[in-house]
Amino acid sequence: ILTKEGVVKTIYDSCAGTCGMLTVADEYLHKLNPDAKLELFGQELNPESYAIAKAEMLIKGQNPANIANGNTLSNDNFANEKFDYLITNPPFGTSWDKVAKEVKKEFDDKGHGGRFGAGLPRINDGSLLFLQHLISKMKQDETGSRIAIVFNGSPLFTGGAGSGESEIR
């Protein structure tokens, strides 16, 4: 797909930081196919990283409006968007208690119609919330989407049968 002439694809990072993973993906695609275009999207919580990410988009010739500031879990700035590729390196073992009210409300109100329908993990590690968020951004067409997420072992193995993590997995 990426080697075809004139291909245009989108990529999204829900924990964009300074957009390092996004820009590396863009550089890799241009090595693979100089005629391809990758439109970069991301959201970042940290104000300083967000500012650097916006500048990075300007430098790289990307649309800086595609980088949003805010907490991905409590305020999805790309609520109605779907993407071809989704990548993220969420914060390991970070508590989501500061956004628990918003996340639980979405879970209760929307269930499987929302981003967190598979369930809620323990409050002290929100990694599986980021995974569910990315899944909600996948295209449901003939080409679909691809996800790459960086996890430590905790969300993959923590939580016994019937726990939030187990139910999500």
State the DSSP code for 83: B
Residue 164: predicted pLDDT:
57
Tens of pLDDT along the chain (169 residues) come to: 888 888 899 999 999 999 999 999 999 999 999 999 999 999 999 999 999 999 999 999 999 999 999 999 999 999 999 999 999 999 877 889 999 999 999 999 999 999 999 889 888 888 889 999 999 999 999 889 999 988 766 656 565 555 556 566 5
Residue 11: predicted pLDDT:
97
Q: Is 157 exposed, middle or buried (0-12, 13-18, 19+ CB in 10 A)?
A: exposed
Residue 6: predicted pLDDT:
86
Residue 151: predicted pLDDT:
73
Asked if 117 and 61 touch (Cβ cutoff 8 Å), the reply is no
Beta carbons within 10 angstroms of residue 93's beta carbon: 13
Residue 112: predicted pLDDT:
93
Residue 42: predicted pLDDT:
98
Distance, C-alpha 78 to centroid of its chain: 10
